């Protein structure tokens, strides 16, 4: 009796299925589904990019590697680099990820959010600055080349003798946030920022030593260049420098030095386009200091109008002064002043995030981080209409405890709605990173859709020039140089045996089944 009822139910199901197919309801549903997905796809960042024949071939290979890497992470969460903390995923990324190696080779245009004092890898700082003769490690881990009577100091060279081969690791820990267990070491955002401040104070005086200043900033350009970055807009403040004879130079000497470093670097590497400076004022300073620094900015920019391009307020946004406090001061600056305000680097709503409102009303050229922007739909629409780019710094946001899993980053929404944005790296030296490749990895593997490939990457790269502060004439030259670099990159990838994806690789039953299911249900348009 049970068997008859069961058989009858199967027959009814088959008949209904045949009727549904006959009426074309399934086809209609799938078509409507495909239409919706295509409409979304047309809104995404990179949707307007057209790939040529060679780029399509490269994209096919890239997507094959991307899908394979995502599948590995889907099967084993411990190996899911896009979904785990950077400190826990970096070794896997460098050892196993062909996506990372692809991105290392890819021209990345410009970096537009980079703080000079934390721009150079902690490894280089340790291997070079700590071996510079005359370096003292003083009270509260202050590094300096000018010991003072009231400071309790020890020569770093003597400390190295005392601790032996382990000393480099001890020294590097002074200037690196790395932790095997970041969730334990940094239980909240305030702890991270306190470490940031300590590290800045640790290296501040050593970096103002003229020989180190020169070597450090030359290395900054080398690390950018070695990661296929051709241009940078650097945030920094200008402080007096001193030399081995304890002679003190005025603060504008740092500008003169950077101009000379840039000139010599471009002579050695003609394909490097150059740098510009964004004067940064610490937002936690009192009114007197901030007003004084605003006057200094006006003087510096008047003296170096083609080199100092604008102004920012930096530091821990949640514990610092609001942009609203200085609106009158900003409005009294010369009309030519460009603002590159850090704003919305917070999880708070209706408080610190309101700096985003003032950044927009003050006609900011770009907005740094903009993490809280997705909570302000009207503001987000306005920023898109005004074409104000957001400087997205994925790794920095994660390290600062704004989020744990970068797949939940609000920039995923920016990409889906084609909000103007660029990928940047903020303070890579403090986690021993060089250049932009790590941040681009998370952009394409964590923030982007599974279907996003070379179109998305190319749009982000070109955005970095489009939203730079270069003049229109110089942007055109930079884009021409970038196009040549990009064309060479595409040809090199096509020839590179390391980026040949084998169509005959043996897949597991689970991989074949899941791949077939995704193929049938995705209905995304092919790259063209």
**Which structural domain range is residue 270 located in?**
70-121+207-493
Q: What is the CATH number of the domain that holds 267?
A: 3.20.20.140
Quote the strand ranges of 386-492, DSSP E: 389-392, 421-423
Query: Is the predicted pLDDT of residue 495 greater than 70, yes or no?
Result: yes
Query: Is the predicted pLDDT of residue 464 greater than 80, yes or no?
Result: yes
Using a pLDDT cut of 90, give the percent of the chain over it.
85
400, 189 Cβ separation under 8 angstroms = yes
pLDDT digits (tens, 9 = 90+) for 200-240: 999 999 999 999 999 999 999 999 999 999 999 999 999 99
CA distances from 171 to 73, 124, 206 (A): 35, 12, 14
CA distances from 211 to 174, 258, 261, 272 (A): 21, 13, 12, 23
End-to-end CA distance of the chain, in Å?
Answer: 58
Give the bridge partners for 392, in sequence order.
Answer: 423
Q: How many domains does the chain have?
A: 1
Give pLDDT, residue 148: 75
Give pLDDT, residue 13: 52
Instruction: Kindly write down the DSSP assignment for every residue of 66-108, as one continuous string.
Output: HHHHHHHHHH-GGG-GGGS-HHHHHHHHHHH-HHHHHHHHS--
Q: By C-alpha distance, which of 141, 77, 147, 60 is closest to 526? A: 60
Q: Is residue 26 in a domain?
A: no
Q: By C-alpha distance, which of 359, 394, 393 is closest to 376? A: 359
Residue 61: which region, alpha, beta or left (left: phi > 0; alpha: psi -120 to 50)?
Answer: alpha
Within a 13 Å sphere around the CA of 358, how many CA atoms are in the beta-carbon half? Answer: 22
Q: Is residue 182 in a domain?
A: no
Taking the alpha carbons of 163, 164, 166, 169 in that order, is the dihedral positive or negative? Answer: positive
| Residues 130, 206, 248, 251, Cα dihedral to 10° | 140
pLDDT digits (tens, 9 = 90+) for 163-206: 988 999 999 999 999 999 999 999 999 999 999 999 999 999 99
User: What is the average pLDDT across 497-501?
Assistant: 84
User: What is the average pLDDT across 47-51?
Assistant: 95
Q: Is residue 262 in a domain?
A: yes
Query: Is the predicted pLDDT of residue 24 greater than 60, yes or no?
Result: no
Q: Are strands 241-242 and 110-115 parallel, antiparallel or unpaired?
A: unpaired
């Amino acid at each position: 009796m049970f068997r008859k009822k069961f058989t009858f139910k199967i027959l009814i199901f088959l008949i209904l299925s045949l009727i549904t197919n006959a009426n074309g309801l399934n086809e209609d549903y799938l078509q409507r589904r495909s239409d919706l997905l295509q409409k979304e796809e047309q809104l995404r960042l990179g949707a307007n990019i057209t790939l040529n024949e060679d780029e399509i071939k490269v994209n096919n290979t890239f997507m094959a590697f991307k899908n394979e890497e995502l599948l590995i992470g889907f099967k084993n969460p411990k190996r899911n680099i896009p979904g785990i903390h950077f400190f826990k995923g970096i070794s896997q990324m460098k050892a196993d990820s062909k996506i990372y190696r692809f991105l290392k080779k890819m021209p990345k245009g410009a970096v537009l959010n980079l703080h000079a004092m934390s721009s150079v890898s902690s490894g280089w700082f340790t291997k070079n600055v700590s071996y510079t003769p005359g370096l003292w490690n003083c009270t509260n881990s202050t590094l300096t080349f000018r010991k003072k009577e009231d400071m309790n100091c020890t020569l770093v060279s003597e400390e190295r003798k005392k601790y032996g081969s382990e000393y480099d690791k001890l020294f590097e820990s002074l200037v690196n946030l790395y932790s095997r267990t970041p969730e334990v070491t940094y239980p909240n955002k305030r702890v991270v920022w306190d470490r940031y401040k300590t590290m800045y104070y640790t290296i501040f005086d050593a970096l103002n030593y003229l020989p180190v200043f020169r070597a450090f900033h030359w290395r900054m350009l080398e690390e950018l260049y070695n990661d296929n970055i051709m241009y940078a807009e650097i945030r920094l403040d200008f402080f007096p420098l001193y030399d081995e004879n304890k002679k003190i130079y005025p603060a504008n000497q740092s500008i003169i030095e950077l101009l000379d470093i840039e000139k010599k670097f471009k002579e050695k590497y003609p394909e490097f386009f150059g740098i510009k400076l964004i004067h940064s004022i610490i937002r936690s300073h009192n009114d007197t200091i901030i007003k004084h620094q605003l006057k200094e900015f006006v003087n510096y920019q008047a003296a170096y109008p083609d080199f100092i391009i604008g102004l920012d307020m930096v530091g821990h946004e949640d514990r610092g002064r609001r942009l609203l406090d200085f609106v009158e001061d900003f409005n009294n600056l010369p009309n030519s002043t460009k603002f590159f305000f850090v704003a919305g680097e917070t999880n708070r709503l209706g408080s610190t995030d309101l700096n985003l409102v003032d950044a927009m009303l003050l006609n900011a050229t770009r907005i740094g981080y903009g993490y809280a922007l997705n909570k302000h739909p009207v503001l987000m629409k306005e920023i898109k209409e005004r074409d104000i780019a957001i400087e997205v710094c994925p790794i920095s946001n994660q390290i600062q405890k704004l989020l744990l899993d970068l797949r939940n980053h609000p920039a995923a929404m920016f990409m889906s709605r084609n909000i103007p944005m660029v990928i940047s790296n903020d303070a890579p030296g403090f986690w021993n990173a060089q250049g932009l490749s790590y941040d681009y990895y998370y952009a394409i593997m964590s923030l982007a859709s599974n279907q996003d490939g070379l179109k998305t990457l190319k749009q982000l790269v070109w955005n970095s020039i489009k939203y730079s502060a270069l003049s229109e004439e110089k942007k055109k030259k930079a884009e021409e140089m970038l196009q040549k670099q990009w064309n060479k990159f595409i040809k090199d990838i096509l020839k590179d045996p390391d980026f040949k994806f084998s169509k005959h690789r043996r897949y597991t039953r689970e991989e074949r089944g899941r791949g077939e299911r995704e193929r049938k249900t995705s209905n995304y348009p092919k790259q063209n």
